[in-house]
Chain A
């Protein structure tokens, strides 16, 4: 395998047009991140920071009109190497002013067709996805086994129905579903949320994807089930080593599964680096937002030691009126007089401050 990341997103921007406000919601506004082969990248960030939109953009599943996606999503696997947004720009006319999009004309039909062409053989086959709400994410009118077998028939070299069925049962075993042979015939209605999520995971893995995107795979589940699913994901990670993009609010989930972490805020990545440094509270190069996030989320440590939780002051960023300067400026408690001017008026770039560790903060560099 050639080197280089499996997924490299560069300056991804996904905007939605809000009719009521006659303005663009800049849900994802300049995301840059990459995932190395066999590694898991955890994406954390408050609700609304654009995590799901990043994932869906990667899958070419943004269908809202007239949404716009620009930037570069480079996918590099054993069989495919391409920019998943290639030539999409041909279908949109964008008026830019001072680096921001002012207005957009979009040929939606052509755009959608192009996306479908670009994603053919990618969706399901190269990139598989797991969603937050397992019970709603499986088709209620079909058995889970059939749905897994369908994915196998579509996305692997297996083309025989019986073989696909055996393979589906194999994957149900791999996700530790009890009595997989019987469960094969169950509709989602007959299963608990946890079992549905196992089936979802089995379905995603069954196509043997080069990249797995898991968007909040544990959030919709009960606490006890959550930890079981995390254990399962950890086990699968060691046995299959699938390259994974793992999205979660839950720092503990991220901590136990990720090699690298990207911290998102207001549609952009504020920090990107190894999990073990980013997630330890006393690491030197740390974005103030990450620090605040770590202390605002009850980790096992907090609960054990009854530490007082810190709340991040202020509101989540308004993604319509993004400020000129650092997106976190309003809420930042680490601004010093020396850099204040700069923080308020210029947006810092995501810069490497230590090998493999990038931060978007003027505390660590000057423009």
Chain B
């Protein structure tokens, strides 16, 4: 399954790259009169396969051997480069996922338990407004405020010499956490699931025996929906990360992808695609594991 998914994803991205205008040779040779003849000569010199499918197959063949090729722009091996920066992206996305949940979960839980009281109603509207804010705009506003109000230049790259500071770490996390556009959906989904479970008969039984309804609704009303949300929102977060990393010069996969796209750095783009697909896949794998663990049909001895 996972292998098929990766195959499909890489193939689609490959086709998109192939059909999109521009090519790495022009980007590479842009200083030296990039005529067709020069570019063709470069291709021949690097022994690039001529047709698109032979290109893809040779890439695939190398991948299977664990060779993702080298970046056209920097010449560094793709795999180790992508893995190096993907750690930063994982920090960013995990941090902002936690940020989103820290905001969304209390609102969802309160409104599931107490109904839409004026306060809960206000918070719910607030999440809808927040979800509608474009993340790049939000990012620039935050940078603007930070420079003009606090006199700090909040870009991750500017701090790299002194190591990470909390400030440089938190700003992009907050921006992506608020601006990824999923908060309202998380609130709505979690509230609906919790309300549904609170109305289940076994919760009435729990109340009737004096037990905690939180304890009894935890698995179906919280754990399952939360893992489902996390798994399904990872792609959105990775998408948002591309923008946020760019805005904050965050040395992550998204920023690398952005640059790779500008340089038509095909091997790098393909490498990032594969790693991103693996991250998304791991999200759904985690969801499956949780589902199997709490499955009511499985009796544990």
Which residues of A line the B interface, CB within 8 A?
Answer: 59, 61, 65, 109, 120-121, 123-125, 128-129, 131, 133, 136-143, 150-151, 154-155, 185-190, 200, 203-204, 207
Task: Kindly list chain A residues whose C-beta atoms are within 8 Å of the C-beta of B148.
Answer: none
B210 touches A154 (CB 8 A): yes
Q: Is the CB of B209 within 8 A of A189?
A: no
Chain B contacts of A109 at CB under 8 A? 114
| B219 in the interface (beta carbon within 8 A) | yes
> Within the assembled complex, what's the spacing in Å between the Cα atoms of A200 and B205?
9
CB atoms of A185 and B301 under 8 A apart? yes
Number of A-B contacts (CB under 8 A): 78
Beta-carbon contact of A141 and B209 below 8 Å: no
Taking A124-B211, A136-B202 as known contacts, 11 extra A-B pairs with beta carbons closer than 8 A to each other, sorted by chain A number, are A120-B210, A131-B204, A131-B205, A138-B202, A139-B202, A139-B205, A143-B300, A150-B209, A155-B209, A155-B210, A187-B296
Judge whether A141 and B207 touch: CB under 8 Å: no
B3 at the interface (CB under 8 A from A): no
Which of B's residues lie within 8 Å of A, judged by CB?
A: 114-115, 200-202, 204-211, 216, 219-220, 294, 296-301
Cross-chain contact of A151 among B201, B209, B297, B301 (Cβ < 8 A): B209
**Of A137, A185, A207, the contact of B205 (CB 8 Å cutoff):** A137
Instruction: Determine whether the beta carbon of B115 is less than 8 Å from that of A137.
Output: no
Interface centre among B205, B211, B300 (most CB of A within 10 A): B205
Contact of A187 among B114, B115, B216, B299 (CB under 8 A): B299
Q: Given A141-B294, A187-B299, A190-B299, are A154 and B209 neighbors across the interface (CB < 8 Å)? A: yes
Please determine whether A203 and B209 come into contact, CB atoms closer than 8 angstroms: yes
A346 to chain B, nearest CB (A): 38
Give the contacting residue for B299; candidates A143, A155, A203; CB below 8 A. Answer: A143
Cα A216 to Cα B220 with chains together (Å): 27
A57 to B209 CA separation, bound complex (whole angstroms): 15
- Closest CB pairs A-B (n = 3): A124-B210, A140-B296, A124-B209
Please measure, in the bound complex, the distance between the C-alpha atom of A120 and the C-alpha atom of B208, giving whole angstroms: 11
Q: Please report the C-alpha to C-alpha distance between residue A262 and residue B88 in the assembled complex, in whole angstroms.
A: 71
**CA of A185 to CA of B300, assembled, Å:** 7
Q: What is the CB-to-nearest-CB distance from A206 to chain B, in angstroms, rounded to a whole number?
A: 9
CB of B111, distance to nearest CB on chain A (Å)? 14
Return the contact of B204 from the options A125, A137, A186 (Cβ within 8 A).
A137
Taking CB atoms, residues of chain A closer than 8 Å to B201 are 131, 133, 136-137
State in angstroms the CA–CA spacing of A121 and B210 once bound together: 8
Q: How far is the CB of B174 from chain A (nearest CB, A)?
A: 33
Residues in chain B near residue A200, CB distance under 8 A: 205
B204: chain A residues within 8 A (beta carbon): 61, 131, 137
Q: How far apart sit A125 and B210, CA to CA, in the bound complex (Å)? A: 8
A-B contact pairs, 16 of them (CB 8 A): A59-B208, A61-B208, A109-B114, A120-B210, A123-B209, A124-B210, A129-B209, A131-B204, A131-B205, A137-B205, A139-B205, A185-B301, A187-B299, A189-B299, A203-B209, A207-B209
Cβ A141 vs Cβ B299 within 8 A = no
With CB as the reference atom, state the residue of chain A lying closest to B204: A61
* B208 and A189 contacting across the interface, CB-CB below 8 Å: no
Docked Cα-Cα span, A121 to B202, in Å, equals 20
- Nearest CB of chain B from residue A58's CB, rounded to whole Å: 11
Given contacts A65-B115, A133-B201, A136-B202, contact A128 B296 (CB under 8 A): no
